[in-house]
Amino acid sequence: MAEAKTLSEAADELEFRQMRELGELMVYRSQINKLADGEWTDKGGFSLGPLKPSLMGEDPRLPKMPEKPTLIDFFKLRFGPSKQHLLQSAALAQRNGLPEKMVLACLLHDISVIAFFRPDHGYWGAQMLEPYVDEEVSWAIRMHQALRFFPDESVGYEYPEAYAKRFGADYRVDPYIQRDYDYARNHRWYMSARQICLNDLYAFDPDVTVAVEDFEDVIGRHFRQPAEGLGNDNTPASHMWRTLRRPANAL
Ligand SMILES: [Fe+2]
Ligand SMILES: [Fe+2]
């Protein structure tokens, strides 16, 4: 019981802080937000709580977005500093002489990690991008998640040392990762997904700053920016961009 009370007190405190931050507006967090912070309980009963004005629409705590946001607007106004990983990866792909389509794939390969969900980031990222990029680009982004764990001597790709440090020397991939690797290994676009891994490993330099504007032309030629704005359009992924634009909407 003591634990439940503490959690409930913590929730009240958080609620109060958020209300103060947003005047009288309530900001609610969904379960997946709480789970990411290691918060879980099924104690305390179920209640909708008091009906108070809730945040819907633009979030006053975040930079204001244009009415018709572009991919570059999302880079500038919603992605955090770790977007440098994407930008450096794309710059490396360009230096390595990859085709523009693959430069775009590298530019967007971890879009989910840095802006949306970390778990299963290849799959989420591909889903966000599918309506706007060449099929090969989203396929490669989906599959790079699995390929990252498997070496390919023919192109000099070794199992990342960092993974052994982060996940343990005895880490073994989940069965679905093994399954998707086996599938991708024999696919005609295998090398496109592998290229993402090859231009990914070294794209973590804290002393290098790459601007998204450097890729304005590549984006212009290979990303189908909807005229009405990302999220205002009507594709199977529009809602994901709307969520990114207004991440704390009550519904
Ligand atoms: Fe990745
Ligand atoms: Fe990456």
Same domain, 39 and 109: no
CA of 169 to the centre of ligand 1 (A): 19
Which pLDDT score, from 0 to 100, does residue 109 have? Answer: 98
Instruction: Find the range with the poorest average confidence among 12-16, 69-73, 175-179, 206-210.
Output: 12-16
Same domain, 48 and 97: no
Which pLDDT score, from 0 to 100, does residue 1 have? Answer: 40
Whether residue 62 lies inside any domain: the answer is no
Same domain, 226 and 126: yes
Whether residue 63 lies inside any domain: the answer is no
CA of 147 to the centre of ligand 1 (A): 10
Q: Report helix angle 100-108 to 83-95, nearest 10.
A: 160
Count of structural domains, the chain: 2
Whether residue 60 lies inside any domain: the answer is no
- What are the pLDDT digits (tens) for 93-105? 999 999 999 999 9
Same domain, 120 and 229: yes
The amino acid at residue 8 is S
Which pLDDT score, from 0 to 100, does residue 2 have? Answer: 43
Same domain, 51 and 86: no
Same domain, 223 and 109: yes
Whether residue 141 lies inside any domain: the answer is yes
Same domain, 28 and 87: no
CA of 219 to the centre of ligand 2 (A): 18
Domain span at residue 44 reads: 1-55
- What are the pLDDT digits (tens) for 102-151? 999 999 999 999 999 999 999 999 999 999 999 999 999 999 999 999 99
Whether residue 66 lies inside any domain: the answer is no
Whether residue 45 lies inside any domain: the answer is yes
Same domain, 105 and 169: yes
CA of 238 to the centre of ligand 1 (A): 22
Whether residue 15 lies inside any domain: the answer is yes
CATH number, domain of 118, equals: 1.10.3210.10
Q: What is the mean pLDDT of the chain?
A: 91
Confidence class for position 79, pLDDT limits 50, 70, 90: very high
- What are the pLDDT digits (tens) for 168-207? 999 999 999 999 999 999 999 999 999 999 999 777 788 8
Residues 6+ apart with CB under 8 A from 222: 100, 101, 104, 133, 134, 137
Question: Per-residue pLDDT averaged across 31-40, rounded?
Answer: 90
CA of 11 to the centre of ligand 2 (A): 35
Same domain, 151 and 225: yes
Which pLDDT score, from 0 to 100, does residue 85 have? Answer: 94
State percent of the chain over pLDDT 90. 75
Same domain, 28 and 97: no
Residues near ion ligand 2 (CB < 5 Å) are 110, 200
CB 132 within 8 A of CB 116: no
Whether residue 81 lies inside any domain: the answer is yes
Give per-residue burial for 147-163: e unless 16+ CB within 10 Å, then b. Answer: bbbbeeeeeebeebeee
Same domain, 36 and 80: no
Angle of CA points 33, 34, 36, to nearest 5°: 70
Is the pLDDT at 224 greater than 50? The verdict is: yes
Which pLDDT score, from 0 to 100, does residue 46 have? Answer: 72
Same domain, 23 and 77: no
